[in-house]
Copies of this chain bind each other. A is one copy, B any other.
Amino acid sequence: MSSTTAKSPDASRRSERSRKAILQASMELVGEVGYPKLTIEAIAARAGVGKQTIYRWWSSKAAVLLDAFTEVVHDENAEGSAGGLPDTGDIEADLKYVLRATADEFSDASFEAPYRALAVAAAADPELADQFVSRLREPGVRVYTERLRAGQEAGQIDPDLDLDLAVELLLGPFQQRWLNRTGPLTHEFTDGLVELAMRALAPRGAPR
């Protein structure tokens, strides 16, 4: 597998405009045609740049897409509190807020379609899965782990918990509903999921 490290784009405004157009075009196109049929040629045409401009900065379509999604995730985190989940002091309320927002995001086709295309491609391809997990999933999971750790310090989360497993318990059912289409991503679902998971995550002996 070729490296996914983007070559550092020229800092000039024109380069930056091209870079953003390429990332945007890759997201749009993968949602329209799926990952297997996505080509660098089509991305270049949609972005209004030459193929060589893309190859100068990225080694493959996977590298372009992973940068595109990483940027979306980065922009979202930048909107939150210092790149993490909100911390109002009430972890159950904070998790409900975030999962409701995530459900809303997944009901937006301009995000959902490309993300699904990439997730499907990663499920079929172990090498893409490696990159998908390390570039996109792990940073996304880390903000939950950190929020749960703060919850441990505040006495709202069991101090002995395996936080990685705790995040899987919280996010796995959401992911499964979404990817396998086993049910709708309503706020009723996400609220119920947080309430049920919190029964497992709260300190033993805490009222529940």
- List the interface of chain A (C-beta within 8 A of B): 34, 36, 116-117, 119-120, 122-124, 126, 129-130, 132-133, 137, 161-162, 165-166, 168-169, 171-177, 179-183, 189, 192-193, 196-197, 199-200, 204, 208
A141 to chain B: closest residue by CB: B182
Find out whether the CB atom of A204 lies under 8 angstroms from the CB atom of B208: yes
Q: How far, in Å, is A132 (CB) from chain B's closest CB?
A: 8
Of chain B, the residue at the smallest CB distance from A174 is B172
Q: CB distance A169 to B193 under 8 Å?
A: yes
| A196 CB contacts on chain B under 8 angstroms | 161-162, 165-166, 169, 200
29 A-B pairs whose Cβ atoms sit less than 8 Å apart in the complex: A119-B180, A120-B124, A123-B123, A123-B179, A129-B181, A133-B180, A137-B182, A161-B196, A162-B196, A165-B173, A165-B192, A165-B193, A168-B176, A168-B177, A168-B182, A168-B193, A169-B169, A169-B173, A169-B193, A169-B197, A169-B200, A171-B176, A172-B174, A172-B175, A172-B176, A173-B173, A175-B176, A176-B176, A196-B200
